[in-house]
């Protein structure tokens, strides 16, 4: 427990999040019909919170693949999408990145963002 | 386990909870916790509140999260933290309050109050109450009689100190001087009509609450009565000021009474002796509040309601009144500073069916009140099962972030959270743990006009994307100016030890950001 609330975790047991790298991101994103890919940084408190938001978002929008990229270990992919800050969420539809947003959103805002692009 | 008839209908439910039929919530605005005997004060006489605490549950570590008056009411009514979301602003349509949830229920609701910020136009903090009684005249509502003639024997300047108002040339020092004289003048225009102690603000509110209990409520229905008294908030106008007797807490004072002081830092403006006298008058005000609340509690007993009514007594915040532990150098809330004397609040609860006399050390926050009230009434449900009918929604508690405190009082859990947070929206954040308190500044020297404003500069600060993200490669730095205190050795936050404890500070800042960010995403 964290302050009476569930501690923010990635809960990989319940929601599958695939980890991408500079070597794999191009092919994987191109093969994604519906996805959200998040640039994260180790020990970043905001990233921990956004991973939890993505889990809740995936319950609101089933069928969306969730992916992560470590922003510090994968400079090429971060540069390719102009992701300077973590967390930055990319929305992927029909193999193309159609939206990008840095910072925090709640699950409802994340859903609205996904549906707006 | 007891069986009890559900208040919604007739279906019997298995319950583990005591038989609570009603709730009385008593807010005493600006009641600093350490001015009460039950919180360790040895000079101020508060026998009624002390007895209430002795027989009930006293929370030693209760903190308001978003300050001051208005966000505290929002957090209390909604069970949601305000610090990540907004400051001094109206109740919003998306907020779900206790009274919104109680709509269509058997529980009748009443609000008896004289807290003017709740009555600000369009603010809507009386929303949803079945019965509303506003008792006029307290600060912010004090202009109602401003066009009246004032008794020629009363002059504003005689009720404060000349040197707080005028410079050596006899000119007003600044805008705060003019504001102070106007504030005193307005108060005197109300005060001149009072004839006895029964006319005091607290006496009127307590009396009106008692009148609702005795004469107005429907006695066949359970109730939730919210009493919101602005006393012991200033003006510091206890009985001794009017009887011309020495204040019992500072009998040697020779100067004018100090009904009010300017909203300023004290250095160069308000002397240590004047600050001490303000605290003495405030202490006497606290004594008066205790007396009137004691009468109300006695009446609740006399009416036979004690054994079926949960009673909560708390405050929204304390008050800076001087240097050091008394206010860290400011008078009144002229800066958004979340120090202990402001954010640590008294909280005491009487729960029918539970043996009291317990002091609880675990951290609790004002957001815990709403879930506790609804749980006591056995009406805490995430999604409401009540049929609203006619297509109107009936709200549940799904948005609440606070915790029900009944399991803590029953001893089923030792704590509901590991730390507390406090601060001013977009201006200051604080995290309070058993070992440390840490203050993170976003905008330190803003004024009261900045934070008590729906268009606060804090709004832009909180919108900044950089607040909620990190750059690749950047290390988490503890900003210069942040403060760290050893809570065990220095509970009054007088010795900043951040320079010697960077690692502790860095961990606390991370924890604070993680938690406020988590709340933002909930």
Q: What is the pLDDT of residue B18?
A: 54
The range of the structural domain enclosing residue A91 comes to 17-116
Residue A90 is assigned to a structural domain of this protein: yes
Residue A59 is assigned to a structural domain of this protein: yes
Residue A101 is assigned to a structural domain of this protein: yes
Rg (CA), chain A: 13
The token duo for B318 is: 């304390």
Select the residue from B366, B407, B521, B522 to test the A interface by mutation, using most A Cβ atoms within 10 A.
B521
Give the DSSP letter string of B92-122: PTT---HHHHHTTSS-EEEEEE--GGGGSTT
Angle at B503 between CA B501 and CA B504, to 5 degrees: 70
B475 vs A57, higher pLDDT: A57
Q: Which residues of A touch B367 (CB under 8 A)?
A: none
The token duo for B293 is: 């609340």
- Neighbouring C-beta atoms of residue B303, cutoff 10 Å: 13
Residue carrying structure tokens 């500079």: A22
Residues in chain A: 117
Residue A35 is assigned to a structural domain of this protein: yes
CA distance A67 to A74: 14
Residue carrying structure tokens 């504030």: B183
Backbone angles phi, psi at B225, to 5 degrees: -105, 120
Write the residue in B403, B470, B522 that is nearest to A44 by C-beta. B470
User: What distance in Å separates residue A50's CA from the closest CA in chain B?
Assistant: 8
Closest chain B CA to residue A107: B521
Taking each helix axis as running N to C, give the angle between helix B201-211 and helix B272-302, from 0 to 180 degrees, rounded to the nearest 10.
20
Cβ contact B336:B446 at 8 Å: yes
Residue carrying structure tokens 């990540």: B84
CA distance B472 to B470: 7
Rounded to the nearest integer, the mean pLDDT of chain A is: 88
Closest chain B CA to residue A5: B417
Does residue B431 sit in helix, strand or coil? strand
Does residue A26 sit in helix, strand or coil? helix
Domain count, chain A: 1
For A99, counting Cβ atoms within 10 Å of its Cβ (0-12 exposed, 13-18 middle, 19+ buried), the class is middle
**CATH number of the domain within which A68 lies:** 3.40.30.10
User: What distance in Å separates residue A69's CA from the closest CA in chain B?
Assistant: 12
CA distance B67 to B65: 6
Select the residue from B362, B512, B514 to test the A interface by mutation, using most A Cβ atoms within 10 A.
B514
Give the DSSP letter string of B354-392: S---EEE-S-EEGGGHHHHHHHHTT---SS--S---TT-
Asked if the ipTM is above 0.85, the reply is: no
Closest chain A CA to residue B473: A72
For A59, counting Cβ atoms within 10 Å of its Cβ (0-12 exposed, 13-18 middle, 19+ buried), the class is exposed
> Mean pLDDT by 10-residue block, N- to C-terminus, for chain B (522 residues)?
42 55 98 98 98 98 98 98 96 96 94 97 97 95 92 96 95 94 96 94 98 98 98 96 95 96 96 98 98 98 98 98 98 97 98 96 98 96 78 88 97 97 97 98 94 92 87 82 98 98 95 94 91
Q: What is the rounded average pLDDT of the residues A69-73?
A: 96
Residue A92 is assigned to a structural domain of this protein: yes
Does residue B341 sit in helix, strand or coil? helix
Q: Which residues of B touch A60 (CB under 8 A)?
A: none
Name the DSSP letter for residue B246. P
Q: Is B1 on the interface with A (CB under 8 A)?
A: no
Q: Which residues of B touch A71 (CB under 8 A)?
A: 472
Give the DSSP letter string of B179-228: HHHHHHHHHHHHHTT--SGGGSHHHHHHHHHHHIIIIIS-TTS-EEEEEE
Residue A72 is assigned to a structural domain of this protein: yes
Give the DSSP letter string of B133-169: EE---STTSGGGGTTSPP-TT--GGGGS-HHHHB-TT
Name the DSSP letter for residue B31. -
Contact flag B518-A8 (C-beta cutoff 8 Å): yes
User: What distance in Å separates residue A53's CA from the closest CA in chain B?
Assistant: 7
Q: Is B417 on the interface with A (CB under 8 A)?
A: yes
Going from the C-alpha of B350 to that of each of A70, B55, B104, B344, B355, the distances in angstroms are 52, 7, 27, 20, 9
Residue A7 is assigned to a structural domain of this protein: no
Does residue B233 sit in helix, strand or coil? coil
β-pairing verdict for B108-113 and B131-134: parallel
All domains of chain B in start order, with CATH: 2-345+353-415 (3.40.720.10)
Residue A2 is assigned to a structural domain of this protein: no
Least confident of A34-38, A68-72, B388-392, B459-463: B388-392
Cβ contact B257:B187 at 8 Å: no
Write the residue in B469, B511, B514 that is nearest to A103 by C-beta. B469
User: What distance in Å separates residue A52's CA from the closest CA in chain B?
Assistant: 9
> How many helices (H) and strands (E) are present in chain A, helices listed first?
4, 6
């Amino acid at each position: 427990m964290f302050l009476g609330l569930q501690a923010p975790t990635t809960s990989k047991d319940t929601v599958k999040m695939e980890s991408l790298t500079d070597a794999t991101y191009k092919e994987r994103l191109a093969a994604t019909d519906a996805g959200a890919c998040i640039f994260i940084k180790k020990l970043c408190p905001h990233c921990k919170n956004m991973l939890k938001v993505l889990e809740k978002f995936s319950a609101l929008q089933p069928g969306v693949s969730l992916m992560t990229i470590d922003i510090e270990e994968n400079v090429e992919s971060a540069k390719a999408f102009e992701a300077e800050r973590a967390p930055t969420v990319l929305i992927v539809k029909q193999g193309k990145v159609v939206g990008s947003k840095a910072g925090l959103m709640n699950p409802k805002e994340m859903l609205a963002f996904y549906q707006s692009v | 386990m007891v069986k009890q008839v559900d208040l919604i209908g007739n279906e019997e439910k298995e319950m583990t909870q005591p038989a609570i039929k009603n709730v009385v919530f008593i807010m005493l605005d600006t009641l600093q916790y350490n001015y009460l005997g039950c919180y360790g004060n040895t000079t101020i006489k508060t026998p009624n509140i002390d007895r209430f605490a002795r027989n009930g549950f006293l929370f030693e570590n209760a903190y308001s999260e978003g300050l001051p008056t208005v966000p505290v009411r929002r957090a209390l009514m909604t069970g949601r933290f305000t610090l990540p979301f907004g400051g001094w602003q109206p109740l919003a349509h998306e907020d779900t309050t206790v009274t919104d949830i109680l709509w269509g229920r058997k529980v009748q609701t009443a609000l008896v109050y004289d807290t003017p910020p709740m009555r600000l136009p369009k603010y809507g903090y009386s929303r949803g109450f079945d019965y509303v009684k506003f008792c006029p005249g307290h600060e912010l509502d004090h202009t109602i009689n401003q066009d009246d003639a004032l008794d020629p024997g009363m002059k504003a300047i005689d009720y404060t100190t000349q040197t707080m108002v005028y410079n050596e040339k006899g000119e007003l020092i600044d805008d705060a001087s003019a504001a102070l004289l106007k504030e005193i003048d307005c108060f005197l225009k109300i005060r001149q009509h009072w004839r006895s102690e029964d006319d005091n603000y607290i006496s009127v509110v307590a009396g009106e609450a008692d009148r609702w209990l005795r004469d107005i409520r429907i006695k066949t229905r359970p109730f939730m009565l919210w009493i919101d008294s602005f006393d012991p908030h200033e003006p510091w106008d206890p009985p001794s000021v009017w009887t011309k007797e020495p204040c019992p807490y500072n009998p040697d004072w020779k100067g004018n009474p100090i009904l009010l002081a300017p909203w300023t830092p004290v250095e160069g403006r308000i002397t240590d002796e004047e600050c001490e006298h303000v605290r003495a008058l405030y202490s006497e005000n606290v004594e008066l509040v205790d007396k009137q609340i004691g009468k109300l509690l006695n009446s609740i007993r006399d009416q036979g309601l004690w054994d079926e009514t949960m009673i909560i007594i708390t405050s929204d915040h304390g008050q800076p009144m001087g240097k050091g532990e008394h206010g860290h150098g400011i008078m009144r809330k002229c800066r958004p500073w979340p120090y202990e004397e402001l954010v640590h609040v008294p909280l005491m609860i009487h729960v029918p069916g539970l043996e009291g006399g317990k002091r609880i050390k675990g951290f609790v926050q004002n957001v815990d009140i709403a879930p506790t009230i609804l749980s006591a009434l056995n009406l805490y449900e995430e999604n409401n099962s009540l049929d609203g009918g006619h297509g109107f929604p009936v709200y549940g508690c799904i948005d609440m972030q606070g915790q029900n405190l009944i399991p803590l009082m029953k001893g089923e859990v030792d704590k509901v959270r590991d730390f507390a947070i406090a601060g001013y929206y977009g201006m200051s954040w604080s995290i309070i743990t058993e070992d440390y308190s840490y203050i993170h500044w976003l905008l330190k020297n803003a004024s009261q006009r900045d934070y008590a404003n729906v268009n606060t500069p804090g709004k832009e600060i909180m919108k900044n994307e950089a607040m909620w993200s990190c750059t690749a490669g950047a290390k988490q730095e503890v900003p210069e100016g942040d403060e760290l205190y050893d809570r065990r050795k220095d509970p009054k936050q007088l010795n900043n030890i951040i320079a010697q404890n960077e690692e502790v500070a860095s961990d606390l800042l991370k924890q604070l950001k993680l938690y406020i960010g988590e709340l933002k995403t909930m």
